Structure 1
């Protein structure tokens, strides 16, 4: 109980039924809302069922909550699942909500998808208690099937409770046998029991009426009126008393739901009319059919070609950072082929490249993972999970990122490409042993040794083992042919030397990086090298380091990587090196490129002070200094942040005024 209270804080009770008591709680470390359900143990052996319990914790489906934990306290078992926002269908029914046929069919397909996933586990997982109270309607308009009957799962089909009006006939029979002490083995409960409960639930929400008797039969007239003949036939088949007459799998029921549009009455009438027309003009129509078939085939090829062009355009616009245009192209692509994954992936890449990490995660969750139209392929799904995981990492949601990497591993395609980032994330999430283990396993398998050494270095850096980290980064640099990875390894080593205040060694390392890396990889190296030289100049007072820093910044400008700070640093460095004319040239370029601000006039004022110091006292004139000072002060009034150099400028102005120089 102490372990429970250390991890979870109960907020309040959500409900109670035959299956147990349900509480809303907070996971203290993750700061996430969860649902804790107490289940009466009744002889369950948790230790003997550990494997099955772990299967539950590994479940992942868009329309199922995540099982986070499972444990025993005393005679009770507890499950912890992710909290699903929204209202249950039971609550909505009680509020008098009317459900449209179209939305009920959509939810039915989502439920079948979830059940298919559960039933295809090894061993199969039977939900055991499907009813409106256990189906949440989320704010996004999708459903989530909650409250697995885990007692059922762990006890090989033993029914520990049932809900009148939704439970299958065979479950009722099992309950009666248990109550009467009858030991019968032939009453089998399998996946088809869930399909009956689903049919009873659909009957209730579409008609507004519940099957109240244990073996209650649907009102066909009412059902046809509310659901239409084709949808009604699906529900009726799910509600067959004999399991052999029902759908034999959730996949079969899902297929029947997907075929509903083709079975619609109007469609049948259209087919009948078309058949009559074909009978009348058979010969003529035969030619038309051939032409139509060719036309359909041609149109399909044209659509595919156009779609591929749009995806290529997305890639191009992302490279050019034209993100608004990319989104327009993405929308056109998904309208053309809504089931194709590639355009969705490119749009996720666009959000990731913009560092819109939160939006990227939401897009992947709702537009890809919960989109039943999309045809997924394992390799691309691994890439999509990586985008989500690294977005979570960038937002410092390390636990969530680890969970996403676990899903990535399950795709089985290209997961080894991401071991490096996975290991780093594990370390940041507080699992250094797991991080080291995954790196060791990856190295034994011969996966990307250079990337694994880099990841090992990052893990060791995070664990504050600088010597080991430096060794790992150095090995990465020595063996890698990936210039981007090599650049990152150099930068990591630079940070380690900076933390140790070993600036001479850091300078030596960065010079080596500048000499060995191609030009396109040198920008960040040059920026760090310039800063190291500035710091060394301040620490030693030696002008040679400033000259090196000036050369670093000049190379940055030559390659078009300059910024406002580049020129600002050059002005200061040249001024300290007594090269006032060059400082003024850089200052004028800075003003022309970025416009005037208080800092520009502050720099002009300091330059003017130094110019006047070079003259004899009787030749000095501080008129320009006064003008620059006043312009700087006027613009500085609008600044919110304090600037220590402006305090110094005020002191110089006060001294000049006191000395009569103004």
Structure 2
């Protein structure tokens, strides 16, 4: 059960309840790994029964648009269902209305056009996604002035299952009738119009009340006509889609801007056109330079990030306003971002999301080597998600360009999922004897090591891990193999094997830390391995360098205290010094603060108390 102050799924610290909506209870939380604020929504029990959980999760995670919050996670914990998404800084339209704040017509037009853009995006999905609950409380205005349409996780597709509720004042009349109602895009057209009717007039729109109400508005007749047309009682009299409404708003906006400051004569018009063109080109060049910088930084850093960070940073690129146009013109770069996101999901063992991103990457780079790699990884993700039928269909439909070695490996993965593990290992061993594709050989070695772990055959696991080292040529794989060596060191009881495993972990993390963009955690792990090995001097040099790069991170001070303690324990009792240990230990406690999520800090506290004779 979720509660304020608790931790959900070992990652999300629940900070406060934000409120309740038609679909569930909403909380603000803190992602302890990514160190960012998120929103967690607990879906009400009656909604869970109506939801196809897997399908809903896949749909939501695929959506990325600058005017939508990004959905990061879909959790099932103790039978309760939660969605995790961006925390949006700012206030909703309802707050502005309650505060008596009036918007200019230009502000309203901008908001309406942004909402039309995001609704066109939702309606353009296949199948279309209908929001079905557009209202002032579901339209956020960010600190930068942009809108964000929220609470779309209770939406559903045309001709799909009926999930979620609606708001009486802003729902279309046909939705309220209930009998035989099949939602379509015109319902969202009505709700958008009704929402801005309320913003423009202060009157909550319901057909019965409007007949006896004289409605006044300070805004132009042209804009008000567009809003009233969107609110026609009969769906066939409204705009038939959001695109039609958007074009009407664009014409209204052009007219409004022309009236702001007219210039006399053709010369004035030419100056405006030239200045406008120069401004557009300047903004475009600036946006493309920003994209190039952010894209390059992401690709370079991706290998040193964990899966969750890779997903978050990749989604940020997809969601940044202006980048969508650039990525549309550069399908290869878009494919790279999608692949990195997919790899991140795969590393986090979120295989269904990984499969959908691999599939999207494959679609935008047909007839290429990259496409076949994406198809292969999509199939593997489908297998590991347990979706064997779709995986076999993908092999039949899209796998004609896959190599024989790849098909052999895929068949072995099917055997693993079908619990024919010995047969799978035999097939992978055959690949190891005759195969040439390094990535596949590495995967075979990792499965062999996993099989050794499952059967508690640590000698077998060590053999496969050492061979895996030969094929590992990325930070990610060296890190993974190093962690597997560490698992043996922690689990095994045989001293010789423990030492062999620790040496393997050191080799792998030395490779990881040799690269220029090695991360803080990687270097911290290497220092801890050196401590375990008894190389305290080398560990301390590395930890002091870490403390200089991140002086407010307590972990380097914590490990320095432990390393110094180990170093002093090697000396005769009369020669041991405790002051350096206390110095680094107290620094660790200072920067750790009031937190309680690190067991090693409890060990450090006990060690410091012993040294001080408490």
TM-score by length of 2: 0.55
Aligned partner of 1:417 among 364, 373, 376: 373
1:402 is displaced (CA, Å) by 1.8
**Alignment length, in residue pairs?**
499
Alignment of 1:145-224 (within 5 A): 167=172, 192=186, 194-214=188-208, 216=210, 222-223=216-217
Partner in structure 2 of residue 250 of structure 1: 242
Aligned partner of 2:43 among 13, 34, 47: 34
- State how far apart, in whole Å, the 2-side matches of 1:512 and 1:133 are: 60
1:99-143 per-residue CA deviation (whole Å, 9 max, x = no partner) reads: 53465444423443454356556787777x666378454888512
- State how far apart, in whole Å, the 1-side matches of 2:151 and 2:125 are: 16
Partner in structure 1 of residue 344 of structure 2: 391
- State how far apart, in whole Å, the 2-side matches of 1:523 and 1:219 are: 71
User: Structure 1 residues 457 and 144 mapped into 2: Cα distance closer, same or farther (>3 Å)?
Assistant: same
Alignment of 1:410-449 (within 5 A): 412-414=363-365, 417-422=373-378, 425=381, 431=386, 433=388, 437=392, 440-441=395-396, 444-447=399-402
1:374 is displaced (CA, Å) by 2.8
Partner in structure 1 of residue 550 of structure 2: none
1:399-440 per-residue CA deviation (whole Å, 9 max, x = no partner) reads: xx52463365356335753455555555665x2645864675
- State how far apart, in whole Å, the 1-side matches of 2:125 and 2:509 are: 60
- Partner-residue secondary structure (3-state), 1:355: coil
Aligned partner of 2:103 among 85, 100, 104: 100
Partner in structure 1 of residue 264 of structure 2: 273
Indicate yes or no: 2:490 matched with 1:490.
no
Aligned partner of 1:143 among 149, 173, 177: 149
Partner in structure 2 of residue 109 of structure 1: 113
- Partner-residue secondary structure (3-state), 1:374: helix
1:203 is displaced (CA, Å) by 1.5
Q: Which has the higher Rg, Structure 1 or Structure 2?
A: 1
- State how far apart, in whole Å, the 2-side matches of 1:474 and 1:229 are: 76
> What are structure 2's unaligned runs of at least 5 residues?
1-16, 27-39, 75-80, 366-370, 516-522, 545-559, 586-600, 608-614
- State how far apart, in whole Å, the 1-side matches of 2:332 and 2:495 are: 54
> Any conservation in 1 of the 2:375–2:398 contact (CA below 8 Å)?
no
1:487-544 per-residue CA deviation (whole Å, 9 max, x = no partner) reads: 4543443454455455665666566667788899997799799999999x996989xx
> Any conservation in 2 of the 1:426–1:432 contact (CA below 8 Å)?
yes
Partner in structure 2 of residue 322 of structure 1: none
> Any conservation in 2 of the 1:432–1:459 contact (CA below 8 Å)?
no
1:591-621 per-residue CA deviation (whole Å, 9 max, x = no partner) reads: 7777797757966986xxxxxxxxxxxxxxx
Deviates more, 1:561-570 or 1:500-509: 561-570
- Partner-residue secondary structure (3-state), 1:257: helix
> What are structure 1's unaligned runs of at least 5 residues?
1-10, 16-21, 40-45, 70-79, 180-187, 279-284, 311-332, 335-341, 573-585, 607-624, 647-662
Partner in structure 1 of residue 598 of structure 2: none
User: Structure 1 residues 245 and 466 mapped into 2: Cα distance closer, same or farther (>3 Å)?
Assistant: closer
- State how far apart, in whole Å, the 2-side matches of 1:555 and 1:133 are: 52
Alignment of 1:457-536 (within 5 A): 466-474=421-429, 477=432, 482-483=437-438, 486-497=441-452, 500=455, 502=457
Partner in structure 2 of residue 24 of structure 1: 24
Aligned partner of 2:355 among 405, 412, 418: 405
Partner in structure 2 of residue 314 of structure 1: none
User: Structure 1 residues 64 and 553 mapped into 2: Cα distance closer, same or farther (>3 Å)?
Assistant: closer
Partner in structure 2 of residue 355 of structure 1: 305
- Partner-residue secondary structure (3-state), 2:364: coil
User: Structure 1 residues 289 and 504 mapped into 2: Cα distance closer, same or farther (>3 Å)?
Assistant: closer
> Any conservation in 1 of the 2:140–2:150 contact (CA below 8 Å)?
yes
User: Structure 1 residues 90 and 520 mapped into 2: Cα distance closer, same or farther (>3 Å)?
Assistant: closer
> Any conservation in 1 of the 2:194–2:205 contact (CA below 8 Å)?
yes
1:304 is displaced (CA, Å) by 7.0
1:98 is displaced (CA, Å) by 3.2
> Any conservation in 1 of the 2:442–2:471 contact (CA below 8 Å)?
no
User: Structure 1 residues 233 and 457 mapped into 2: Cα distance closer, same or farther (>3 Å)?
Assistant: same
- State how far apart, in whole Å, the 2-side matches of 1:304 and 1:479 are: 52
1:471 is displaced (CA, Å) by 3.5
> Any conservation in 1 of the 2:91–2:142 contact (CA below 8 Å)?
no
1:236 is displaced (CA, Å) by 4.8
User: Structure 1 residues 460 and 354 mapped into 2: Cα distance closer, same or farther (>3 Å)?
Assistant: same
User: Structure 1 residues 477 and 201 mapped into 2: Cα distance closer, same or farther (>3 Å)?
Assistant: same
TM-score by length of 1: 0.52
1:55 is displaced (CA, Å) by 11
1:327-370 per-residue CA deviation (whole Å, 9 max, x = no partner) reads: xxxxxx15xxxxxxx65544554664452655554555566348
- Partner-residue secondary structure (3-state), 2:401: coil
Aligned partner of 1:264 among 256, 262, 265: 256
